[in-house]
């Protein structure tokens, strides 16, 4: 039986970075298969039955303007992270804090630049997460996202995060708490970091 809490599940979408190897384009604004990565991540989080929290920093106003064209979008799904230049850890903390403020029972963490992490993959990892434990998606034996925590553990992970790392320090410190969930047939872990990655994704298209 899947673990179900009485409180809602939140998906924290880390999307605040500048995308320096993409010449500052801003990953959240990149279009793949006809939609921005921000819109795609929000859609996948909703389709998985969670409440999305999109953490924005770089070019946040432009991302909001692009999202405003989607009738299903509301500004309550956006978390502003003015200190985003301090690294991924700051964005991670902002997202977890917002999830707590909204009364979430569990927190799933995804990256906006991994468009191949489908709603099916997110659901699978959520359904596999056991109370007090951490479920982490694995592709071909390699750990990736989503990562799903109870809210308390997400808070502990956020407190331990430093620099340009999110939950990695906490996961390294507590390997016995982590359950690997295979998502190989329902996801692609490739991220979009460079113009070459973007060109490859323009031909791959969408998993959903």
pTM of the model: 0.91
d(CA 29, CA 15): 10
Q: Residues 47-78: pLDDT tens digits? A: 999 999 999 999 999 999 999 988 788 888 99
CA dist., res. 93 & res. 53, Å (int): 12
Q: What is the pLDDT of residue 21?
A: 55
Residue percentage of the chain with pLDDT more than 90 = 73
Strand 142-150 versus strand 134-139 pairing type: antiparallel
Region 80-91: mean pLDDT is 95
Rounded average pLDDT over 85-95: 96
Fold of 9-203: Spore Coat Polysaccharide Biosynthesis Protein SpsA; Chain A (3.90.550)
SS3 state at 147? strand
Q: How confident is the model at residue 19 (pLDDT cuts 50, 70, 90)?
A: low
> What are φ and ψ of residue 54, in 5° steps?
-90, 115
Look at residue 1 in the predicted model and tell me its pLDDT: 54
Q: What does the pLDDT read at residue 70?
A: 84
């Amino acid at each position: 039986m899947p673990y179900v809490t009485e409180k809602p599940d939140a998906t924290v979408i880390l999307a605040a970075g500048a995308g320096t190897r993409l010449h500052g384009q801003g990953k959240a604004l990149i279009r793949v298969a006809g939609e921005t990565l921000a819109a795609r991540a929000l859609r996948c989080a909703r389709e998985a039955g969670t409440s999305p929290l999109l953490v924005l920093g770089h070019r946040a106003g432009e991302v909001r303007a692009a999202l405003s064209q989607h009738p299903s979008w509301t500004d309550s799904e956006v978390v502003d992270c003015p200190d985003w230049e301090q690294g991924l850890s700051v964005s991670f903390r902002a997202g977890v804090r917002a999830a707590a403020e909204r009364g979430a029972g569990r927190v799933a963490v995804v990256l906006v630049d991994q468009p191949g992490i489908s709603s099916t993959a997110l659901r699978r990892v959520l359904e596999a997460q056991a109370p007090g434990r951490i479920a982490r998606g694995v592709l071909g034996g390699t750990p990736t996202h989503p990562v799903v925590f109870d809210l308390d553990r997400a808070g502990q992970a956020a407190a331990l995060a430093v620099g340009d790392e999110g939950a990695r320090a906490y996961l390294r410190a507590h390997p016995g708490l982590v359950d690997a969930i295979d998502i190989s047939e329902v996801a692609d872990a490739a991220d979009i970091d460079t113009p070459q990655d973007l060109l490859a994704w323009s031909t791959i298209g969408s998993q959903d």
